[in-house]
Amino acid sequence: MGPTFFKCFLFTVLIPLVSVACAGKPCKFTVVTANAGAGTLCAQVEGPSKVALVCSEVPDGYEFSYTPMAPGNYMIMIKYSNITIAGAPFKATITGQSPRDRC
């Protein structure tokens, strides 16, 4: 399955479908800011475990990656110039690591 697209004013958030995301496995999402103009981008992930959010610049914006270590719901908050973008927070559901999970 491909990514889910959220169009937000002048930029797009690409979040892969999370139905198969598993604890201990890297997750990522991309914020396309190519047409957004000058501003400050802020992303935060909160959930059952603390995650280190790593940001990389890509041609059309920024790619973020994180590795959730516990199953549960993680909320992805994205702000641009201190304004919450439409659709945020985004929910990522992370499953456990049991053999029955499709990870």
The domain spans of the chain are: 3-94
Tell me the one-letter amino acid at 73.
N
Q: Is the dihedral of CA 42, 47, 51, 57 positive or negative?
A: negative
Q: What pLDDT is recorded for position 22?
A: 83
Q: pLDDT, tens digit, for every residue of 24-63?
A: 889 888 888 877 788 889 999 999 999 999 999 999 889 9
pLDDT of 5 > 60? The answer is no
Q: Would the pTM count as exceeding 0.85?
A: no
Q: Which of 5, 10, 14 shows the shortest CA–CA distance to 43?
A: 14
pLDDT grade, residue 9 (50/70/90)? Answer: very low
The CATH code of the domain at 3-94 is 2.60.40.10
CA distance 97 to 103: 8
> What mean pLDDT comes out for the span 11-19?
57
Distances (CA, A) of 85 to 19, 24, 29, 76: 23, 28, 15, 11
